[in-house]
Chains A and B, each alone.
Chain A
Amino acid sequence: MDKFQTTSEITGERIKQYLAQGKRFDGRKLDELRKIEIEVGVSKKAEGSCRVRIGKTEVIVGIKMGIGTPYADSPNKGNLMTTAELTPLSSPRFEPGPPRFEAIELSRVIDRGIRESKVIDFEKLCIKEGEKVWTIFIDIYSINNDGNLMDAAGIGAIIALKNARFPKYDEKNEQIVFGELTDKKLPLSDNIPIAITAHKIGDNIIIDPTQEEEDLSEARVTIGFSDGIISSIQKGNSAPLSFEEMEKILEIVKKSWKNIFKKIEKFLE
């Protein structure tokens, strides 16, 4: 890989020195997010979709509904499948080809955050017990990577779910009539899971890193959080975290959830 695409060591030193003064290159506080911009309904063919921009980072998330068979151990529950493509569109670091580890991890972390928060009532996705259930597909595409794709994807996933409507279902032929959406929303509770990732750089903890900052991340923790309840955690990268650091991360995540929720609230109705 072209080494020039990563933050140079001397710039990295400056970023760390500045963090130690409690400051970041773009003027943000350590626990401050970049500007979030959201647009819903960006793909008419999807049952639900949105574009999320955090600073210059951009993802598009779409929801498709399908008919599947339930798992044997949950015959009255629908299915959820989450995929992520880190497209070569979005960064010279992403090559075409089968999904790399980053894409697999991203989709799994987002999937767990959604699933475990119980925001989706899977029983309401049952069409015929043991035979036919709805499957929700959440597909995430990176459009531009300037750091923190994870949190952009997580916000995109929950907003796209909220934006989605069931397609028309032909009960006689037991199939979906595509191209016609009903008014019926997906069975979602008011528990809004938001994935928030904190990064350890030197002795500092920050959220929402730019690409330049993310390159310096020694460890990261993504927490799926919904109003006071943690439903998923993923620690990434090999640097260990002290007890105090983990406590600090929890504080920042708690605060950030409220912040982000306020900013995206109007897209969750």
Chain B
Amino acid sequence: MATENKRKVVIPGEVIAKGDDFLPGEGTEKTDQGIIALRFGLAEEINKLIKVIPLSGVYKPRRGNIVIGKVENITFNGWVIDINAPENAFLSLTEVPRYVNKNGLDEFMDIGDMVVAKIWSINKRGIDLSLKSRGLGKIDEGLIVKINPHKVPRIIGREGSMINLIKNKTRCNITVGQNGFIWIKGETIDDELFSKKAILFIAERSYLSGLTEEVEKWFEQNKEKTK
């Protein structure tokens, strides 16, 4: 892809472009010397707009994100969920799409349980989660893999191309949380571990262009290892 070829690794303070032809986008700033990078990452120019795609950093919760979290505490009306962000999130009883006995919240989800949820609101009071959508709910079994949240877009790929490739090759169900937690469930533990390996392979190379090809090659080389 043409845009991918223009990507260039930059470090904080590095001048990406000089002159007035370009506009500073996310992760950049315009100074006397030109447009500079405000973090370590990949600089990219699309239609004269320059931005820096980070390769590392913490998860910043956004409304609408699907996240995977762990129940940290139970209150009288819901669950406190750790979503790998500096602030815990809250899942209210009213955001569970089925009947839950108010006196037995732990029967639905107990401390330590993992859950796939959606962020439906972020405000001063905190982050609110919901289970009222398809594919959300408590995780029954499988593997949880952690990657840097900034690598999630590469794991998913353009319109889900990468994640579908992994799903097909490993025969696993995979749910990717925007917070960097990934849930894998397959027929066998070997399948799940194969999935995990593929995901870590991609995460380690998230800065490469032409990654899909690399991954296909990797599957070619590693297919004998699965049954």
Asked if B112 is an interface residue, CB under 8 A from chain A, the answer is yes
Asked if A170 is an interface residue, CB under 8 A from chain B, the answer is no
Asked if B114 is an interface residue, CB under 8 A from chain A, the answer is yes
Given contacts A8-B70, A9-B112, contact A3 B82 (CB under 8 A): yes
Interface of A is mostly: helix
* 8 Å CB interface, A1-55 against B: 2-4, 8-11, 13-14, 17-18, 21, 25
B192 in complex: contacting residue of A3, A4, A9, A14, CB < 8 Å: A14
The residue on B at minimum CB distance from A26 is: B193
| Residues of B with C-beta under 8 A to A25 | 193
Chain B window 105-137, contacts with chain A (Cβ cutoff 8 Å), 1 for yes, 0 for no: 000000011100000000000000000000000
Q: A3 to B144, Cβ gap below 8 A?
A: no
A146 to chain B, nearest CB (A): 13
Given contacts A9-B112, A9-B113, contact A14 B143 (CB under 8 A): yes
Asked if B95 is an interface residue, CB under 8 A from chain A, the answer is no
Q: B72 to A10, Cβ gap below 8 A?
A: no
Asked if B211 is an interface residue, CB under 8 A from chain A, the answer is no
A10 to chain B, nearest CB (A): 6
Chain B window 181-192, contacts with chain A (Cβ cutoff 8 Å), 1 for yes, 0 for no: 000000001001
| Residues of A with C-beta under 8 A to B139 | 10
- Give CA–CA (A14, B186) in the complex, Å: 11
Q: B189 to A10, Cβ gap below 8 A?
A: no
| Residues of A with C-beta under 8 A to B224 | none
* 8 Å CB interface, B76-122 against A: 82, 84, 112-114
Q: B189 to A18, Cβ gap below 8 A?
A: yes
A92 to chain B, nearest CB (A): 12
Q: B72 to A3, Cβ gap below 8 A?
A: yes
| Residues of B with C-beta under 8 A to A10 | 114, 139-144
Number of interface residues of A (CB under 8 A): 13
Given contacts A2-B82, A3-B82, contact A11 B193 (CB under 8 A): no
The residue on A at minimum CB distance from B85 is: A4
| Residues of A with C-beta under 8 A to B82 | 2-4
Q: B70 to A4, Cβ gap below 8 A?
A: yes
- Give CA–CA (A141, B82) in the complex, Å: 31
Chain B window 170-214, contacts with chain A (Cβ cutoff 8 Å), 1 for yes, 0 for no: 000000000000000000010011000000000000000000000
Give me the 5 closest cross-chain CB pairs, A-B, nearest first. Answer: A8-B144, A11-B144, A9-B112, A18-B189, A4-B82
17 A-B pairs within 8 Å (CB atoms) are namely A3-B72, A4-B82, A4-B84, A8-B114, A8-B144, A9-B114, A10-B114, A10-B141, A10-B143, A11-B143, A14-B141, A14-B142, A14-B143, A14-B192, A17-B189, A21-B189, A25-B193
| Known contacts A8-B114, A8-B144; 19 further A-B pairs (Cβ under 8 A) | A3-B72, A4-B70, A4-B82, A4-B84, A8-B70, A9-B113, A9-B114, A10-B139, A10-B140, A10-B141, A10-B144, A11-B143, A13-B141, A14-B141, A14-B143, A14-B189, A14-B192, A21-B189, A25-B193
